[in-house]
Each structure stands twice: as structure tokens, then as C-alpha cells.
Structure 1
Amino acid sequence: MAEDRKVVLARITGRVQGVSFRAWTRSEAEALGLSGWVRNEADGSVVALIVGTKIAVSHMVERLHVGPAGASVEQVYVEDADPGFAPRGFRITG
């Protein structure tokens, strides 16, 4: 159902690189049946495109506020996004 589909771009700041944040994000996203990608940014943040049902995307955003063990999330900025090329499954792209 297209009306149940949601696409967001999330930028996570804090201590989120060097703590397996991307691998954790992929694992959490796959468990929720989401597609999209996650990557490190040069400014030390992590950015993720998250595509799925409204409920699953909402759960993923909640999880991003906590992150994996070793992470220290300061902020999660979320905005609606155009899916563009959303891959099947969830990928680590950089």
C-alpha cells in the first residue's frame, strides 16, 4: 500500500563513528523489514535513508536515538525524503 509507505532521511550526530553504528543500523533495519542505506559522513555524523511502512520507520527512528553499545547519540535529525534509488534490502554505502 503506497499510503502506508514512508521514506525519511536521518542524520545522527554524536559518537556514532567507530562504534559499529552502520552495521548495527543495517541489522536493526533488516529486522524491521526496511530498505535503504546508511553511510558515514566527513563531519563525523551518520546518515541513513530509511524506507518502509510508517510503523517500521517510526520504530527505526526510535532505535536510532539509542544506537549500539559504545555509541553516544546526541541528536537525530529526521526529514521526509524522496526514495530516489532505494535498494532492495539495506546497504552500508560508505
Structure 2
Amino acid sequence: MKKSYQIKVYGRVQGVGFRWFTQNLAQEYHIVGWVQNKNDGTVDMKIQGDAIDVTSFLEKLKQGPGPYSHVEKIIKQSIALFESNNFAIR
């Protein structure tokens, strides 16, 4: 069953390879959508995939790309399904 979410990630998530890390994770877990930096220092994304893959993706996302990043919290909000066939960095 497909799930779609709008995600906002707080912490040290800009300038540390977070979007690239997110795109690679999305490909690994067959997630479609996009990720982008926001002016307030957060990262926004829209994701969609099978429920189990989305859960695994979000668990790995919390770990971040390495020692220079730090995810403080992830806010997720359910949204309507959308059309996409890839995961883009914006």
C-alpha cells in the first residue's frame, strides 16, 4: 500500500551532503518525490512509496549522512498520492 508524506527535517542538515544522502536512500528504498533546502535551515521533502519502504527510509534518514550532520527531529504529514517516477534534488 502506497503512502505519501510531506516531510520537514530539522537539525544540521544543510551543507553536509544531506540532500544527496536522501536521494541515494530514496533510490535504495524505491521512494519517489523530491528534497530541497529551505531558507530557515531545514530540509523539506515530499516522498511516496510502499508503507514498509517509507518506514525504513525514515529510520535511516534519522541517522543522517555522517558525523557532520545531526537530525534533531522529523515532522511528517500525510498527503494525497502524487505522480512521480523518480526522486529529485531541488
Calculate the TM-score normalised by the size of structure 2: 0.92
1:16 maps to 13
Conservation of the 8 A alpha-carbon contact between 1:64 and 1:76 = no
Displacement, 1:16? 0.2
1:66 maps to 63
2:73 maps to 75
Conservation of the 8 A alpha-carbon contact between 1:37 and 1:87 = no
1:57 maps to 54
Q: Number of residues paired by the alignment?
A: 89
Calculate the TM-score normalised by the size of structure 1: 0.89
Structure 1's unaligned 5+ residue stretches are: none
Structure 2's unaligned 5+ residue stretches are: none
For 1:12, the aligned partner's letter is V
Secondary structure of 1:65's aligned partner: helix
4+ residue runs over 2 A deviation: none
